[in-house]
Each structure stands twice: as C-alpha cells, then as structure tokens.
Amino acid sequence: MSEPLTKLAYQAFHQGKSYFGLAHKALSTQFLNLVAHPPEQRASPIPVELLLKIQKRLTKINETDWQDAEKGIYPASLLLENDWQDFFRHYPLLWFDMPATWERANQKRYQEFSQDVDTSIYPSYYTQNFHHQTDGYLSEWSANLYDVQVDILFNGAADAMRRRVLAPLKQGLQTFSNLDPRQVRVLDVASGTGRTLKFIRSMLPKASLHGVDLSSAYLRKANQHLSQQSGELPQLIQANAEELPYLDNYFHGTTCVFLFHELPPAVRQQVINECFRVTKPGGVFVICDSIQLSDSPEMAPVMDSFAAMFHEPYYRHYASDDLVSRLQDAGFTTVTEEVHFMSKYLIAHKPIATEQQANKIAEAAIT
C-alpha cells in the first residue's frame, strides 16, 4: 500500500473508532433511560468549547502515533492493530452487562463481587468495582469486557495513549545499546490484559519481557492475547506491585500504564519505590496515567466529571498529587513530563549510582 493510502486507512480507522465510541455512549444512555432507572445527574455537562479542545487533542495524538511509526520507533502495522474477533465477541456482552452496572452505580454499591470471587486475598483498596465494573478486576467476565470499555471511554484512542510510552522507553534503553537485544529486560507493572506488553513486543522483538498484575483473570486474558504474537512469550506473574517479586536492579526499563490513579496515596508511593528498586541504575521508568490539574487545568471539568461518574475512589487525590516529587523521593532523577490526549507521561531515570550506593562504595573504601 502506498504511504498516502496507508495514512488514509489509518485516519479512517481511528475516525471510525472515535465515532463508534461516541455513538455507543449516546445510544447506551438512551437505552438505560428506557430499561433502568435514569442515572443520577452527578456531574455538570462538559461545555462545548472543551469538547472541541478534547477533539483537537484526539486528532493530535493520532497524528503523533502515526509520526512515531513513520520514524520507525515501532512497526506501522501496530497502527491498524485491533483484535476484531475478540471485540465483536465481547461487545454485545457490554450491553447485556449495562443495566446491572448502572443499577450498582445508582445504588452506590461499590464492593459487589460474584460469590465465587475470593476477595480476602487482596488489599482492601483493590476490592472495588472500579468504573462500576462487574466483579471489579476479579473475573473472566470483567477481563473480557475491559478492553472494549476502555476503548469506548477514550473514543478509540486507548491504544494510542498506551503507545506513547514506547518512544521514551526506547530512548531510555539507549543507555544499554551495547547489550545484545536479548539481554534487555523490560517490566510492565499492572499489565492488565497485556496490551502495552503487546506493543513493547512489536518494538523490541528480542527483549525479555515481564508483566505483573494482581488479577489472575486479567493475566489469563493477557496470556491469551500475547500468545497469538510471534516471539518469546512475556513472563507473567500474579503479584502485588507493592512488593514486586524481582531482584533489585533487574530491569533496564519499567513501564506502568493507567495504575496510579487507582491507588491510595501511600500505596502510590510504595509502588513507585518498588519500581525504583527493580529498575537498573541507568534504566528508565515510564508512567502513563490520567492527566492532572497541574498539566491540564483547563480540563478540570472533565476530571471532575470522571471522578463523579465512575467509581474511582482515589482519582480526586491523584488529580492533584505531585508525582514528580514522589519519583524523586524514591530516588529517580531527571523526570520529564509529556501530555497526550487525556494522559500524562512521566519519564524518570534511575541514576547510574544512587546516593545510597555511592555512600556504600565510599564506606567500603574507608573500611
């Protein structure tokens, strides 16, 4: 396919996904007004000027996605990547699930799980129906619906948002360019259904990839997605990101997508500390999460609406949290920030020798 045609196909693909997301939201609201109790009006409508700004940001992230593929950061085939079979199998279930989800939201039932879900083994902050999702993150049903829901929420741009971690990750790994690509190790924390790992695998076909998540159902779904891809299967482990089951200084690169807004403040810090511990000196840690008030003050009504409409108990604190300070407190240096569409990115580097290590070395030299 010639380049203009490819770009046209790409634009059509993303516009289609965006219209699909908008149409779904409009139709589902009408449907729910018919079959369920109308949802409480818990947030003010977003002003039209702001909606236009969001639309502009959407166009821009898709353009950046295209440009990064053009620059060869990752294969252009990723731009048109979508598991249609999975999507069409599970999209109807979203409609089936909707009345119960909205009833749960209206009745403010935030910790409701199927009887066969054992919640006792998880931290209490985690056993929530985040976004009012049926079973929270703790069932196959939830894992099957998650990608569809997130893509609709972001008008088809969820993957373009995740892919924005790829350029800073690749750039950060340059520090280790003398290594055989097979020796490079990358960890994705809270890997969910494995979409970020899938993109990293396409960009780094030989690297050793690892993913960790608390949900066994999401890990199974990730395994299903990732095993369809060529190359070594990423190693997935069920674990709490507060206590990562890896050695100190093990990974050349660490990523984390859409986790921090779902953690209480102290846990947020603990997970950052753990990401620091497992990242090698000289390595890079890339976070992708929601925009915050500090980088996008004009989007305050959208952030407010998100917190009001979805069950996101830690989001309001997250929106004004100082993540740069948290990263620095953990020991990271040279933290840079980027904003794309409705996400922000923090790119943090672990110094070649931390102060602690330098002190230890100095102490050892004296004794």
Ligand X SMILES: C[S@@+](CC[C@H](N)C(=O)[O-])C[C@H]1O[C@@H](n2cnc3c(N)ncnc32)[C@H](O)[C@@H]1O
Stretch in the footprint of ligand X (CB under 6 A) among 42-50, 96-104, 191-199, 293-301: 191-199
CA 267 to chain centre: 17
Contact between 241 and ligand X (CB under 6 A)?
yes
Stretch in the footprint of ligand X (CB under 6 A) among 88-96, 164-172, 184-192, 294-302: 184-192
Return the residue of 10, 176, 258, 341 that touches ligand X, per CB under 6 A.
258
Contact between 279 and ligand X (CB under 6 A)?
no
Cβ proximity to ligand X: between 144 and 175 the closer is 144
Helical axes 216-226 vs 140-153, angle rounded to 10°: 70
Cβ proximity to ligand X: between 164 and 170 the closer is 164
Return the residue of 32, 203, 259, 302 that touches ligand X, per CB under 6 A.
259
Cβ proximity to ligand X: between 53 and 83 the closer is 83
With contact defined as beta carbons under 8 Å apart, do 188 and 168 qualify? no
CB of 26 to ligand X, least distance (A): 24
Could you tell me the CA-to-CA distances from 108 to 103, 134, 250, 253 in Å, in that order?
Answer: 8, 13, 42, 40
Stretch in the footprint of ligand X (CB under 6 A) among 68-76, 77-85, 251-259, 309-317: 251-259
Could you tell me the CA-to-CA distances from 316 to 154, 241, 308 in Å, in that order?
Answer: 19, 21, 9
Say how far apart CA 272 and CA 254 lie, in whole Å. Answer: 11
Cβ proximity to ligand X: between 195 and 350 the closer is 195
Stretch in the footprint of ligand X (CB under 6 A) among 71-79, 86-94, 178-186, 213-221: 213-221
Binding mask 89-128 for ligand X (x = CB under 6 A): -------------------------------------x--
CB of 123 to ligand X, least distance (A): 6
Q: Is 45 helix (H, G, I), strand (E, B) or coil?
A: coil
With contact defined as beta carbons under 8 Å apart, do 73 and 79 qualify? no
Binding mask 214-233 for ligand X (x = CB under 6 A): xx--x---------------
Residues 127-166 touching ligand X, rule: CB under 6 A, are 137, 150, 162
Stretch in the footprint of ligand X (CB under 6 A) among 210-218, 274-282, 321-329, 353-361: 210-218
- Mode of pairing for the β-strands spanning 333-340 and 279-290: unpaired
Return the residue of 6, 11, 64, 240 that touches ligand X, per CB under 6 A.
240
Cβ proximity to ligand X: between 32 and 319 the closer is 319
The two tokens of residue 150 are 């997130």
Say how far apart CA 267 and CA 263 lie, in whole Å. Answer: 6
Say how far apart CA 174 and CA 252 lie, in whole Å. Answer: 10
Say how far apart CA 166 and CA 168 lie, in whole Å. Answer: 6
CB of 71 to ligand X, least distance (A): 23
For 4, counting Cβ atoms within 10 Å of its Cβ (0-12 exposed, 13-18 middle, 19+ buried), the class is exposed
With contact defined as beta carbons under 8 Å apart, do 167 and 70 qualify? no
The two tokens of residue 278 are 């497992």
Contact between 81 and ligand X (CB under 6 A)?
no
CA angle 108, 113, 116 (to 5 degrees): 165
Residues that bind ligand X (CB under 6 A): 126, 137, 150, 162, 190-192, 195-196, 213-215, 218, 240-242, 257-259, 262
